[in-house]
Structure 1
């Protein structure tokens, strides 16, 4: 049986250990621990300062490189689309500021922006499916040679828009065909198209601007299901077949947005170009360069993503085959 003396010895040992710890902590160990902590804090302070200086140097170098790239890019863009007629179409609610920035790049490249239009929500709304079908069925007969007999509603409407923007009344003419004028008026009257300004001449190239995931988020809040007749990729491909030179530009590509969907389609990547990252000034320089390259037959996908090239090839518009209007549809007999 353990007696009281055992407990007393244990308590004395505990208090002795505590006393020794206090004496050592307040004496010889105090300075050692304090000095060690001070050294560690000072080392961390020096490391933080070095990292801050390194970050500042990296940011300065980045800014210098960006300034150089912008200056060099501006030189490359200058005249790259000289006198080429371009129609700009907002696909899904691009901000006015972003569109103005892109248009400014086109004009800096020497392009003639002959139309600025917006596709309305009626292209994708479930409530407008009957409208889309009625318009498409009514125009199939006017588009012999442009659309296949089994073309879907989305494909017919894409072709209608392509013809409306690009068809001239005669080869090489800068006047729009009667069919182009009537088709554009139809799209406007039924509410499928809104105009910042209507076409003043047949476009030789069409730039489709997408808002990317911002527009997708808006659409998702309105409807969780995409109507069966809605096919954005099919509509764009049909527009390209009718118009010839088509480039689709949008922000950095994200799964589910228009640029990403086109890049995942083998047919699309073989016939039209895309540009991503246009929220960045540097990447907006790619828009006129991609249009110029596509205009002479150089198709590509441009951006910082793994499936894209960073910069379009430099081209000479004198290399294009024939006149620019050859890329689209000419005359009502097309």
Structure 2
């Protein structure tokens, strides 16, 4: 049997070995270790300094580009959308502070702002889906026909789109009683807020997406609802552009979902640089392109076709064909 003295001797031997190792390490390996550490630290400091200089230079270039575009925005967009009426549709979670910059650049292009519709969090709440379905069916103008198997949000998209946009320029700018009833019903239900006079229907729409992807178990359904709304606006009017930041065109973002939405992706244009002066100019060009019957995905994120459509001051927009039904 192993007695206590054996354990004691073993423990003493272990500590003695550790002590000898420490002494040897601090004397034999000390010089080589510290030299290597100093060289690595010096290299890291150099790389850090170089990267910091590159970041500073890139930021200066970006600030300069932004200042230049801001100073010349009016010249870049002048005459692109003369007399065209536009409405803003803000998705739940979209930053309200973005609307003024969009309205200004569209105004510089000659377009006329009718108003905005800001959807609330309640509009996308899972426990409100049936309410949205019933409300859309109840307030739909006489003669409205929903597609077979239409989801609650596809119905809501058709009804709301018909209330704020039109494909008939002769009806644009005129307050439609049916449109007023639809918007007031959704507002009374707490599903949206309004500014301006969106019932004085526009011909084109800008959908402002949230900067970040929706989260939680209902995120996919919420994202799909906003894609349906953009598709509905495009069908009811002469053109729709969904705008946001690169986060919106990343994984799970609303713009990314639109890019994967088949027919909607080929009809609705997107711009994921609306937080940049050049991106807001791109919104104008994208709307002008929509009026000419074309679409594209613009910006710097994934699934993008180009930073912006080509500028074409002499373009003569022609209405896109109206979708049947709804």
Shared fold (TM-score, shorter chain, > 0.5): yes
Cα distance between partner residues in 2 of 1:41 and 1:90? 50
Listed one character per residue, the Cα deviations across residues 185-220 of structure 1 (whole Å, up to 9, x for unaligned) are 222222222112232622011111012316x25xx3
Q: Deviations over 1:28-64 (max 9, x none)?
A: xxxxxx9xxxxx9999999998887776655555544
| 1:168-179 alignment, distance < 5 Å | 171-172=170-171, 174-179=173-178
Name the SS for the 2:308 alignment partner: coil
Q: Is the 8 A contact 2:69 2:277 kept in 1?
A: no
Question: Does 2:289 match 1:293?
Answer: yes
- Aligned-pair distance for 1:249? 0.4
Q: Are residue 247 (structure 1) and residue 241 (structure 2) matched?
A: yes
- TM-score, normalised to structure 1's length? 0.72
**Residues in 2 aligned to 1:261 and 1:44: alpha-carbon distance in whole angstroms:** 41
Correspondence list, 1:1-334, <5 A: 60-71=60-71, 74-139=74-139, 142-144=142-144, 147-167=146-166, 171-172=170-171, 174-199=173-198, 201-213=200-212, 216-217=214-215, 220=216, 231-252=225-246, 253-308=249-304, 309-316=306-313, 319-321=316-318
Report the CA distance between 1:316 and its aligned residue: 4.8
In structure 2, do the counterparts of structure 1 residues 143 and 245 end up closer, same or farther at CA, with 3 Å as the change threshold? Answer: farther
TM-score, L = length of structure 2: 0.73
* Count of aligned residue pairs for this structure pair: 293
The 3 A distance-change label for structure 1 pair 47 and 127 is: closer
Q: Partners of 1:42 and 1:329 in 2: how far apart?
A: 66
Q: Which of 1 and 2 has greater Rg? A: 1
Structure 1 residues 180 and 329: CA distance shift in structure 2, 3 A: farther
For CA contacts below 8 A with separation 6 or more, give which structure has more relative contact order: 1
Q: CA deviation at 1:234?
A: 2.5
Conserved? CA contact 1:140–1:147, under 8 Å: no
Q: Please give the alpha-carbon distance, in whole angstroms, between the structure 2 residues aligned to 1:296 and 1:173.
A: 18
Q: 1:80 to 1:51 in 2, by over 3 A?
A: same
Which residue does 1:4 correspond to in 2?
Answer: none
The residue matched to 1:246 in structure 2 has which SS?
strand
Instruction: Give distance in 2, aligned partners of 1:48 and 1:286.
Output: 35
Q: Distance in 2 between matches of 1:191 and 1:328?
A: 31
Q: Deviations over 1:215-246 (max 9, x none)?
A: x25xx3xx656669963322321232122311
**Matched residue SS, 2:100:** helix
Please list every run of 5 or more consecutive structure 2 residues that lacks an aligned counterpart in the other structure.
Answer: 1-26, 28-34
Distance 1:147 1:313, change over 3 A: farther
Q: Distance in 2 between matches of 1:274 and 1:77?
A: 18
Q: How far does residue 79 in structure 1 lie from its aligned partner after superposition?
A: 2.5
TM-aligned CA distance change 1:149 to 1:305, over 3 Å: same
Residues 172 and 202 of structure 2 are in contact (CA less than 8 Å); yes or no, is this contact kept in structure 1?
no
Take 2:159 and 2:148, find their aligned partners in 1: how far apart are those partners? 14
